[in-house]
Structure 1
Amino acid sequence: MLVQHTYSIFERNIAAIETDNRQTATCSVVFLHGWLDNAGSFMSVMDFLMHQISPQVHLCAIDLPGHGLSSHKSDDNFYAFHDYIDDIHQFLMKLPAKKKVLVGHSLGGMIASCYSAAFPEYVDGLFLIESLGPLTERAELSVRRLRDGVKSRTRMRHKFRRAYDHYDVALQVRAAHSELPKALIEPIVARGLEVLDGQWVWRADPKLSAQSLYRMSNVHAEAILAAIRSPMQVVLGNKGYPSLKSYSPDSLPEQIEIQHVEGGHHCHLEHPDHIGQLISQFVMKIDETPLS
């Protein structure tokens, strides 16, 4: 059974959807969603996994700060990418299981890969969906990024949350944006909307849409991937982001296994049983491996 839970991380709350075996589990599988998604992104995959995986495995999908039911950060915080690494560290320290596996989609995968590199002692397995290391950019574009990033923050300070008269209108807009049927995207939408003054508005902090002030170079990304010590599996949709297919296998660490599946950027929503089976096989190997 999946339950709702809230974790206190200093002055903020992290909301989660999880199985109710947190205290007795030998392994926690933590799901990190993509940008402007939320824990609902993994509902169908978790429903499948509950019938496939050992009862000693704890499944937990969280809402990243500013998303879903989790707290927004302070008014002067614009969700710098590297701050998520700290957020995830504080959260993982709340979980008693001796083994931890991170499953990340898109932004969640970028966060998970960077965290796994920085704290290999706390990650026993890394499973990425439509993600492979942090976003990168050529160094000569860094000044333009600084300028554009600051200007986008100025715009965000004066941006109002878009409101809809009807729930189904918001659902249709998000489905069209994600290029998915409404039934597949609805778990994300249902968790991401709230009613204010009789209208439906997105819960997500508008400041999440501000552009980043900084991106790493390819050299940085290669160093991060090289520092990951745990087994690592990457799943890419055959209609997903083309940039993720640009990595040369020869440039990647040998423990990274890449598999191509049917679907687009949200292939785990399109084919939850297939992705769930891959996650199940990956986690079972880790859970059955004795601790060193």
Structure 2
Amino acid sequence: MFPIEFQLSEQRLSGLASFPVGHPIVDKPLLSGVLSQKPVMLMLHGWQDNAASFAPLFGPLAEHFHIIAIDWPGHGLSAPRAADNFYHFIDYVDDLAQLVDLLDQPRVTLVGHSMGAIISVCYAAAFSDKVLALNLIEGLAPLSEATLNTVDRLRKGIQSRQRYRARAQQRQSRSMATLQQAVDLRCAVNGVLPEQIQPLVERAVYQQDGRCYWRHDNRLRCDSLYRMSPDHAEALIAAVNCPVLSIVGQTGYQALKLEQPASSGWQHLEQVVVAGGHHCHLQSPVRVAEEIVSFSSKFNALAQ
């Protein structure tokens, strides 16, 4: 894997690529020659993860794709959002739109995990001509809730920001004595083995004065001010016209498992269940990669 960076209009994104780029920050001319050799696959991680979440998939998929995995703003090595901003979900879709424009490809294949999967769906709905296929790992429809929750959602969202601001001045970043302690914490939260989560944790922390600190922006923990209604989510699902592969973990979020994918509102959806939980791509990377390759082969999305 090779480091890569993109400068968006208001944001710098860091990431990992399956190919060398020869320059810290890439642009259209630099990428045009390299990316013409294979189809481009963008990998988009979940909340409080980072690009290294996809490290186990690089090996089996790099034969078929030029892979780029990014750190979302406020995650991994990417810059946080400006001090006067928070992390509105829909802004991630704008980040993705800018990134795809920088890649300057006819169409790209998207692989998203959890939050990254939902962002992928929203982007594919709005820009269907830019997406060849969606591979959604433990994520599917945009999060939605009944409109009767709107006022409560707004109130609690603002209150969470007020609590963040009140604590910001005296807050000390949570530290850990060793990298292993950080790994153990993530293992406990995500139900994975240390060797499965280690690359992600190494990218998620920095060391200072002999201690380890999390890199992610604490504003990520603030609640959303707004969530789509079910009608809004259904409209986005209906607008996705590319092939969609849903990959869910056997012990992951049960609500993601569809009894009848063909009648779920998606135009072209297949679903497979693999061993593992919410981070099944870390637990069963070979199987997940095989499913992505098999799915992509159905519509000539692989390098020849």
Q: Report the TM range for the smaller structure's normalisation.
A: over 0.9
- Corresponding residue pairs, total: 285
Give percent identity, aligned residues only. 38
Equivalent residue for 2:229?
A: 217
Q: Is 2:241–2:267's contact at 8 Å kept on the other side of the alignment?
A: no
| Residue type at the aligned position of 1:261 | V
Displacement after TM superposition at 1:137 (Å): 1.1
Displacement after TM superposition at 1:213 (Å): 0.7
Matches within 5 A, 1:38-53: 38-50=50-62, 53=63
- Tell me the TM-score normalized by structure 1: 0.92
| Residue type at the aligned position of 2:275 | E
Matches within 5 A, 1:259-274: 259-274=272-287
2:164 to 153, 156, 161: 156
| Residue type at the aligned position of 2:229 | S
Equivalent residue for 1:109?
A: 117
Displacement after TM superposition at 1:253 (Å): 2.0
Matches within 5 A, 1:29-178: 29-50=41-62, 53-54=63-64, 57-157=65-165, 158-159=167-168, 160=171, 161-178=173-190
Indicate the larger mover: 236-245 or 83-92.
236-245
Indicate the larger mover: 180-189 or 30-39.
180-189
Quote the Cα distance in structure 2 between the aligned partners of 1:10 and 1:19.
Answer: 25
Matches within 5 A, 1:251-262: 251-262=264-275
| Residue type at the aligned position of 2:101 | M
Segments of structure 2 that go 5 or more residues without pairing to the other structure are 21-30
Equivalent residue for 2:241?
A: 229
| Residue type at the aligned position of 1:4 | P
Segments of structure 1 that go 5 or more residues without pairing to the other structure are none
> Over residues 215-264 of structure 1, what are the superposed CA-to-partner deviations in whole Å (9 max), with x where a residue is unaligned?
11211111111000111111111211122236764232241111122211
Quote the Cα distance in structure 1 between the aligned partners of 2:97 and 2:300.
Answer: 21
Displacement after TM superposition at 1:175 (Å): 1.1
Cα RMSD for the two superposed structures: 1.8
Displacement after TM superposition at 1:97 (Å): 3.1
Quote the Cα distance in structure 1 between the aligned partners of 2:99 and 2:267.
Answer: 29
Quote the Cα distance in structure 2 between the aligned partners of 1:246 and 1:256.
Answer: 10
Indicate the larger mover: 63-72 or 280-289.
280-289
Quote the Cα distance in structure 2 between the aligned partners of 1:256 and 1:58.
Answer: 24
Equivalent residue for 2:5?
A: 6
Displacement after TM superposition at 1:288 (Å): 4.7
1:279 and 2:292 are equivalent in the alignment = yes
| Residue type at the aligned position of 1:129 | I
> Over residues 117-151 of structure 1, what are the superposed CA-to-partner deviations in whole Å (9 max), with x where a residue is unaligned?
01101111111001112111111111111111111
Indicate the larger mover: 149-158 or 59-68.
149-158
Q: Is 1:44–1:272's contact at 8 Å kept on the other side of the alignment?
A: yes
- Tell me the TM-score normalized by structure 2: 0.89
1:240 and 2:252 are equivalent in the alignment = yes
Quote the Cα distance in structure 2 between the aligned partners of 1:267 and 1:275.
Answer: 8
Displacement after TM superposition at 1:285 (Å): 3.8
| Residue type at the aligned position of 1:95 | L
Indicate the larger mover: 275-284 or 131-140.
275-284
Q: Is 2:276–2:284's contact at 8 Å kept on the other side of the alignment?
A: yes
| Residue type at the aligned position of 1:283 | S
Indicate the larger mover: 89-98 or 78-87.
89-98
Q: Is 1:32–1:105's contact at 8 Å kept on the other side of the alignment?
A: yes
Matches within 5 A, 1:176-191: 176-191=188-203
Quote the Cα distance in structure 1 between the aligned partners of 2:301 and 2:192.
Answer: 36
Equivalent residue for 2:25?
A: none
